[in-house]
Amino acid sequence: MPHNVTGLAAAHARDHGWDDLPAFLDGDRVWTFADVYAGAARVAGGYRAAGLRRGDRVLLALPDSIDLVWCLLGAWQAGVVAIPVNVRMSREDLTRDARTAEPALIVAGPETAGWLGEAGLAPVTNAERLATADPDPAFEDGKGHPAIALFTSGTTGAPKLCFSLHDNFGSGATGFGTDRVGDVGLSMSRICFSVGLHASVFATICTGQTSVLAGAHATPAAALDLIRRHRVTTFVTQPSYLARLLLEPGHAEVLGQLTMAISAGEVLSGRLREQLLPILGDRLMNLYGSTEAGGIAFGRPSDYVVPSAVGPSFGGLPVRVVDAGAREVAPGERGELHIWLPVATRGVTRGSLGPDQLTDGWWPTGDLAALDADEVVHVHGRLDDVEVIGGQNVVPDEVERLLESHPHVAEVAVSAVRRAAGDTTLRAYVVAAPEAADRAALGAELIELTRSRLSWYKVPQDVAWLDALPRNGNGKVLRRVLRAQGEQYG
C-alpha cells in the first residue's frame, strides 16, 4: 500500500478487528470505523470529481462533526491537503484565513457557505454533496507530500500555516498500535487546532478510542452533560474552559468520573490548579506544546508545588534552556526553551509556499522557561510577551500569577500601555469573580498587592475591567487585542 495516512489507518482498524466498533459519536448517531472509512472513500471520490489533484488545498470551514472527519480522511486519501479552520471566528478573520490558505476548494456549512462564496476566493461546496459521490477506493501515495496545514494561534500576530506531511504521521505520538478500545474521549479543543486534531481524530484512528464530537460550540453545561451521558473517560480542554466548568452545578461529581483530564493550550494558573486538584488529583494532566512543534512537556500538577512546573519533556525528547547568546544556562535559570525534534514545521504566510520543515534539530520554542535539577520544564510566558517599562524588562506572567492569587480575581492579563504623557506603564485587565461586589475597592487592593510584592516597574498603573479576556478558539489570550485596546484608550 502507498504511504497514505487514511490508508494506513483503515488497514490498522481492519487488522485489529475494529470495523464494527464505535469510532465517533455525533449527536444521536454512532459511526463505526467501517462507516468512517466508507465515508472517506466517498468524499475522496467527491474531491476527485471536483477536479482536485494531489497537492491541491481544500479549506474545511466545518464544525467538529462526522462531516469534518470524512472531509479530513477523504482529503488524505485523495492526496489533497486539508486545512480545517475555526468556524466560530468573525467573518473578517475567517476570510483572512481563507485568503492565506489559497484553496482550490472550500467546504462550508450553511452558516458560512453564502458569504464565503460571495468572497470569490474559491469554489464553495458542502460536505453532503461530497459524501454522496461514488466512492473511490484508491489511496494516493502521500510520501513526501503534505497532508494537512493548521493555523497558528495568532496570539501576537497574524496566524501562519504549519504543514505536516503524510510521512510525519504513523510513528511516535501519533503512531499506530496503542490499544484504547473502550475509552471514550471528548475534546473541547477543536479539530482545527493541533491538540483537538490529536485528541479527537488521531486518538481514534490510532488507538481505537471512541470520540464524542461536540459540534461548533458546547457550553460548559452541555460538556458536563456529554461527559455524563457518554461516560467519557478522557476529557481534553483549555484552562479557561475548565474555569467556566467549575461554575456549573454538579461539576465535581461529573468530573470525578473521568480517568484523565488534560489541560492544554496554555499553562494552568495557580488558582485553577488549586481548584482542580481536590476534584481530580493525579488524574489531572498538564500538556504544553505548540502548533509548530507539537507536544513539548507533559506532567501531573499534583507532582509539583509551583504552578509554573509542567513536567518532563514530551516523549523524553532532549530539552535545554539558553540565554540570548545561545549558551545553555544553569538549572533554575530562565531563558529560551529549546527542544530537539525529529520534525517541526515553520509557519508560512501563504498556502502556496507549502511545507517549511526542520528535521532532526533544536527547535527554539520562543517561550521563557527554566529547567530544574530534575529536568522538569517550568514555563514563564512568551519571550515576545516581554514588556519594557522604564527601561526594564517585565514578564507579564509574573505579575499575572500574583494578581490571580487574589480570591476575587477570575482571570487577569497584563499588558503595556503608552500613556498620554508619552510614558509606558502596565495595565491589568481583570475579570472579577462573581462574588466581587466593589470593583473600585478590588482594583485598589490589586494595585497594593503588586506594590507590596514587586519592583516598582512591575506594578500596574490601573485596572481595566472586562467580562472576559479576548481569547482564540483554543483558549490562548490574544495579547495583540489587549495591546490594541491600550493604544486606543491610553
Do both 80 and 174 map to the same domain?
A: yes
Do both 183 and 164 map to the same domain?
A: yes
Do both 231 and 299 map to the same domain?
A: yes
267-326 pLDDT tens trace: 787 888 989 999 999 999 999 999 999 999 999 999 999 988 999 999 899 999 999 899
Question: 394 pairs with which residues across the strands?
Answer: 387
Q: What integer pLDDT is reported at residue 172 of this predicted model?
A: 36
Of the residues 336, 359, 378, the one at which a domain ends: 378
C-alpha–C-alpha distance, residues 128 and 67, integer Å: 8
Of the residues 333, 359, 378, the one at which a domain ends: 378
Q: How many domains does the chain have?
A: 2
Domain range spanning residue 338? 5-378
Contact 319, 132 (CB under 8 A): no
Query: Which candidate, 55, 46, 82, places its Cα nearest to that of 191?
Result: 82
Of the residues 354, 378, 402, the one at which a domain ends: 378
Question: 387 pairs with which residues across the strands?
Answer: 394
Q: What integer pLDDT is reported at residue 387 of this predicted model?
A: 80
Do both 30 and 132 map to the same domain?
A: yes
Q: What integer pLDDT is reported at residue 235 of this predicted model?
A: 97
Instruction: Please classify residue 420 by burial: count the beta carbons closer than 10 Å to its beta carbon, then call 0-12 exposed, 13-18 middle and 19+ buried.
Output: exposed
Contact 8, 177 (CB under 8 A): no
Residues 6+ away with beta carbon under 8 Å from 195:
187, 189, 236, 264, 265, 287, 289, 474
pLDDT higher than threshold 70 for residue 490: no
- Report the b/e string of 229-265 with b at 16+ CB within 10 A: eeebbbbbbbbbbbbbbeebeebeebbeebebbbbbb
The mean predicted confidence, pLDDT, of the chain is: 90
Do both 344 and 485 map to the same domain?
A: no
Do both 422 and 360 map to the same domain?
A: no
Residues 6+ away with beta carbon under 8 Å from 135:
38, 41, 42, 44, 45
Write the DSSP assignment of 32-46 as a string of letters: EHHHHHHHHHHHHHH
Give me the CATH number covering residue 275: 3.40.50.12780
334-354 pLDDT tens trace: 999 999 999 999 999 999 998
Q: What integer pLDDT is reported at residue 350 of this predicted model?
A: 95
Judge if pTM exceeds 0.95.
no
Do both 339 and 229 map to the same domain?
A: yes
Q: What integer pLDDT is reported at residue 334 of this predicted model?
A: 92
Do both 402 and 424 map to the same domain?
A: yes
C-alpha–C-alpha distance, residues 265 and 318, integer Å: 21
Q: What integer pLDDT is reported at residue 134 of this predicted model?
A: 94
3-state secondary structure 348-364: ECCHHHCCCEEEEEEEE
Do both 390 and 372 map to the same domain?
A: no
**CB half-sphere exposure, 200, CA atoms < 13 A:** 28
234-247 pLDDT tens trace: 999 988 889 889 98
> How much of the chain exceeds pLDDT 90, in percent?
69
Contact 160, 101 (CB under 8 A): no
Do both 312 and 391 map to the same domain?
A: no
Do both 139 and 200 map to the same domain?
A: yes
Cell numbers at 350, concatenated: 501563504
126-179 pLDDT tens trace: 999 999 999 999 999 999 999 999 998 765 567 899 999 999 885 433 445 568
Do both 115 and 182 map to the same domain?
A: yes
Give me the CATH number covering residue 410: 3.30.300.30
Contact 179, 203 (CB under 8 A): no
Q: Quick check: helix, strand or coil at residue 295? A: strand
Q: What integer pLDDT is reported at residue 419 of this predicted model?
A: 79
Q: Quick check: helix, strand or coil at residue 437? A: coil
